[in-house]
Structure 1
Amino acid sequence: MSTQPIGIFDSGVGGTSIWKEIHKLLPDENTIYLADSANAPYGLKGKETIINLSIKNTEYLIDKGCKLIVVACNTATTNAISILRETYNIPFIGIEPAIKPAALNTQTKAVGILATKGTLTSELFHKTTNLFASNIQVIERIGEGIVELIESGQLYSNEMRGLLKVYLKPMIDANIDYLVLGCTHYPYLIPMLVDLLPNHVKIIDSGEAVARQTKAVLEQHDLLNTKRVKSNIQFFTNGNPEILQSLLESKYKVEYLDF
């Protein structure tokens, strides 16, 4: 089983930010990335819909022989991962906004979180926030429209910049010193965010932590691929392949999938 692929799915192209960290840490692992762009964004959908889409994605990856699945979507993790773990007999890695390190390290006692509605309203997010951030100010903003712009190839557009200015203003006014990115699409905004935020604000995303957790779980289950052969990397999308391709090196090929 160790040579079987790691499966990674997201509501669209954003989870490639997670895939890149996993591939960097575990270059020998075969991976299959599944972008459900036709149904993006998940953040505006109801819990039942999110669960059903997550099950559909999971079953596709299991059919492809995946040994472990990374739910590279904050909204799918917070709404569906407990169901997936109960239903399928393989390990799952989830993505949670990194509110804990921000809350523990803030000096100004104010942190910002930019995330989807589906993540910010989830039970898991509220539980984590109450546990680690009850004594600090947390400025939450729903990143309405961000995923849609990224999925339509308008990552560095003037419209995106305008949205970010609006979402960041109350955080800057509250003197945050940490900004937590609560959606796997958002790390692609970091160059723009750095430009818009004061210099002292640190930006946290979950990519490296998820890669380390993936490695730890593979080791725990004796599933690490130790064969030193060229890894097989596959990308599938039910959206526009060019959008996904634009976030990847040209050596990787994106295949359209009608699902």
Structure 2
Amino acid sequence: MRIACFDSGIGGLTVLHEAMKRLPHEHFLYYADTLHVPYGTKSKEDVMRHVNEAVAAIVQEEVKALIVACNTATSIAISQLRQTYSIPIIGMEPAVKPALDLNRTTGKRVLVLATPLTLKQSKFKDLIARLDDQSIVDSLPLPELVHYCEQLNFDRSFMSNYFHTKLSSYPLQHVGTVVLGCTHYPFYTNILREILPSHIDIVDGSAGTVSRLVQILEHEGPVSCSLQKDGYDRVDFRCSSQDQAYIHKMETALHILRNQ
């Protein structure tokens, strides 16, 4: 049986890529809700409805676990999904804890980059209230970035100008770690490394999410021992619009990640 990975678009491929590295014997289903991408600028009610529809379609397939590879969808729908379905469901959250662990003794601040809806949800606010006892976490919404990623816009000049503009009001000399709080954002890690001061670490939630998946799979039973071919043969791509051109886009985006 396959492990499903779900996002509104191609962003969750960053999590899938990590899972493919950590679980080389597993087979995956990747589902993009292309009819409703992006989630991060929609209302909470709309996102809840879209997520429920997408997951209902996913569980019709033979899947043994589901990664909700979207911070926005996790913050809104994860509790309801776990109450509705019996398979293990792993969510995402901005990697605030590892970022704080890196900065507690340095005097530097943490800057969380995420979608507007993620930053507005009580799940994110509760996370900060629980972990940020030194009040060193700032946040910055980047609503355009998912759109650029969905366009496969990785032009270094254009994106560098975008990030310079967005970050211009932040005293980066006081920032120790930048958290990529949307699964689309790690596509731009290399560009961010070029423009951010060298002392700044960049973290995202993919590694922690996949570590949790591995723990759950090992608890449920032995992981798959049937070796799949490396590459696309290990992934079945689906999208809610049933758009073959978008499936090709997903294959292209995964290839970009594998060659970064």
Question: TM-score if structure 1 supplies the norm length?
Answer: 0.89
- Displacement after TM superposition at 1:114 (Å): 0.4
- Displacement after TM superposition at 1:91 (Å): 0.7
Are residues 127 and 214 of structure 1, via their aligned partners in 2, closer, same or farther at CA, if it must alter by over 3 Å? same
Provide, for residues 221-250 of structure 1, a one-character-per-residue CA deviation record: whole Å limited to 9, x for no partner.
226213345474211233633432221239
- Report the Cα distance in structure 1 between the residues aligned to 2:16 and 2:176, rounded to whole angstroms: 27
Partner amino acid, structure 1, of 2:94: P
- Report the Cα distance in structure 1 between the residues aligned to 2:6 and 2:67, rounded to whole angstroms: 7
1:139–1:170 contact (8 Å) kept in structure 2: no
- Equivalent of residue 62 in structure 1, options 59, 62, 71: 59
Of residues 97-106 and 155-164 in structure 1, the stretch that sits farther from structure 2 once superposed is 155-164
- Displacement after TM superposition at 1:53 (Å): 1.2
Question: Cα RMSD between the aligned structures?
Answer: 1.9
Matches within 5 A, 1:99-178: 99-106=96-103, 107-156=106-155, 158-173=157-172, 175-178=174-177
- Report the Cα distance in structure 1 between the residues aligned to 2:255 and 2:74, rounded to whole angstroms: 27
- Equivalent of residue 249 in structure 2, options 224, 237, 243: 243
Provide, for residues 65-84 of structure 1, a one-character-per-residue CA deviation record: whole Å limited to 9, x for no partner.
11110000000001110010
- In the other structure, the counterpart of 1:77 is 74
- In the other structure, the counterpart of 2:236 is 234
Partner amino acid, structure 1, of 2:9: G
- In the other structure, the counterpart of 2:36 is 39
- Displacement after TM superposition at 1:185 (Å): 0.5
Provide, for residues 125-162 of structure 1, a one-character-per-residue CA deviation record: whole Å limited to 9, x for no partner.
11111111131322211012100011112122544322
- Report the Cα distance in structure 1 between the residues aligned to 2:228 and 2:112, rounded to whole angstroms: 40
- Displacement after TM superposition at 1:166 (Å): 2.2
Provide, for residues 176-210 of structure 1, a one-character-per-residue CA deviation record: whole Å limited to 9, x for no partner.
01000000001110111001100000000111111
- In the other structure, the counterpart of 1:51 is 48
Runs of 5+ in structure 1 lacking a partner? 253-259
Are residues 249 and 104 of structure 1, via their aligned partners in 2, closer, same or farther at CA, if it must alter by over 3 Å? closer
- Displacement after TM superposition at 1:173 (Å): 4.0
- Report the Cα distance in structure 1 between the residues aligned to 2:4 and 2:215, rounded to whole angstroms: 16
Of residues 152-161 and 125-134 in structure 1, the stretch that sits farther from structure 2 once superposed is 152-161
Q: Report percent identity of matched pairs.
A: 31
1:69–1:92 contact (8 Å) kept in structure 2: yes
- Report the Cα distance in structure 2 between the residues aligned to 1:98 and 1:30, rounded to whole angstroms: 26
- Displacement after TM superposition at 1:31 (Å): 0.5
- In the other structure, the counterpart of 2:16 is 19
- In the other structure, the counterpart of 2:192 is 193
Partner amino acid, structure 2, of 1:163: Y
1:63 aligned counterpart, secondary structure = coil
Partner amino acid, structure 1, of 2:71: N
1:103–1:136 contact (8 Å) kept in structure 2: no
1:246 aligned counterpart, secondary structure = helix
Partner amino acid, structure 1, of 2:122: E
